[in-house]
Amino acid sequence: MADTAQFIHDRFQRFMNGIGERYEPFIRQHLSKVYMVLASTTAASAVGALLQMRGTFDLGIIAAIASLVLVLGLHFYKDDGKNYYTRLGMLYAFGFCSGQTLGPLLDYICSINPAIILTALTGTFVTFGSLSLAALLAEQGKYLYLGGMLVSVINCMALLSLFNMIFKSYFVQITQLYVGVFVMAAFIVYDTQNIVDKCRMGNRDVVQHALDLFFDVLSMFRRLLIILTQKEEQKQNDRRKRKQ
């Protein structure tokens, strides 16, 4: 046990030394702020979802509208060095409203199998952590070429969604879910390296960078929830058929 703990400590120390040697102090400081803001935005989202699920505070359709307004507001209300806390509050509000919109799905999943939420949450956390570390330890700028490709894939998926509203193909729906998970995983790698690159060029907008990563995390979590729920529903349907 002691040997295992020492091994983990040594590996962690080696990793921290590698990060320290690879990135300048101001980049390390910026990344720390971004990840702290990301964590607190995720916490705000969790609070919003819990309040909605318990019926304590439910904004309903207003949450979806507010989310759109807040995202647009953050896009047009650029960082000027003096509005950090205003934009931070807008980001937390967006996280809260995102949790409110996610609440009905989580409530439905709880009625099927609450363990799905924990599984999806763990999968999202492990995937995000692993890919972020991989991006930080990889050659600088190695994955920035992914940006254009990923945007093209997202556009194609959006177009397919519009067509699928008419044709209602289950195959297309499932394909989009699984492809979406891989696309969000790629976005985590791309956005992590892009944040470092922007920071190096003087763009230190903590709120915007945390928002980019929050989008990735939320989108991946939502897709994993739907995929796992569909699998659980299929299992339950199979059990019912065998009992009949």
Residue 44 pLDDT: 96
Q: Are 150 and 182 in contact (CB under 8 A)?
A: no
- Residue 141: pLDDT over 80: no
- Whether the pLDDT of residue 22 is over 70: the answer is yes
Mean pLDDT within 117-146: 88
| Mean pLDDT over the full length of the chain | 86
Mean pLDDT on 158-180:
80
Question: Residues 24-81: pLDDT tens digits?
Answer: 888 889 999 999 999 999 999 999 999 999 888 888 899 999 999 999 999 898 888 8
The answer to whether 180 and 219 are in contact (CB under 8 A) is yes
pLDDT at 244 (0 to 100): 66
Name the phi and psi angles at 56, rounded to 5: -70, -40
**Lowest-confidence pick of 82-96, 105-119, 134-148:** 134-148
Is 11 a residue whose pLDDT tops 60?
A: no
Least trusted range by pLDDT, from 1-15, 62-76, 175-189, 219-233: 1-15
Are 192 and 147 in contact, with CB atoms under 8 Å apart? no
- Write the secondary structure of the chain as one string of H (helix), E (strand) and C (coil): CHHHHHHHHHHHHHHHHHHHHHCCHHHHHHHHHHHHHHHHHHHHHHHHHHHHHHCCCCCCHHHHHHHHHHHHHHHHCCCCCCCHHHHHHHHHHHHHHHHHHHHHHHHHHHHHCCHHHHHHHHHHHHHHHHHHHHHHHCCCCCCCCHHHHHHHHHHHHHHHHHHHHHHCCHHHHHHHHHHHHHHHHHHHHHHHHHHHHHHHCCCCCHHHHHHHHHHHHHHHHHHHHHHHHHHHHHHHHHHHHHHC
Whether 17 has a pLDDT exceeding 70, the answer reads no
What pTM did the predictor assign? 0.86
pLDDT of 205 over the 60 cut: yes
Least confident of 73-87, 93-107, 156-170: 156-170
Q: What does the pLDDT read at residue 86?
A: 94
Give the rounded percent of residues in the chain with a pLDDT score beyond 90.
51
pLDDT higher than 80, residue 229: yes
Q: Is the pLDDT of residue 82 over 90?
A: no
Give the pLDDT of residue 158.
Answer: 80
- The rounded percent of the chain whose pLDDT value lies above 70 is 91
The pLDDT, as a whole number, for residue 238 is 75
Distance (Å, whole) CA 235 – CA 206: 43
Mean pLDDT in residue range 181-204 = 92
Q: Is the pLDDT of residue 2 over 70?
A: no
Res 9 pLDDT > 70: no
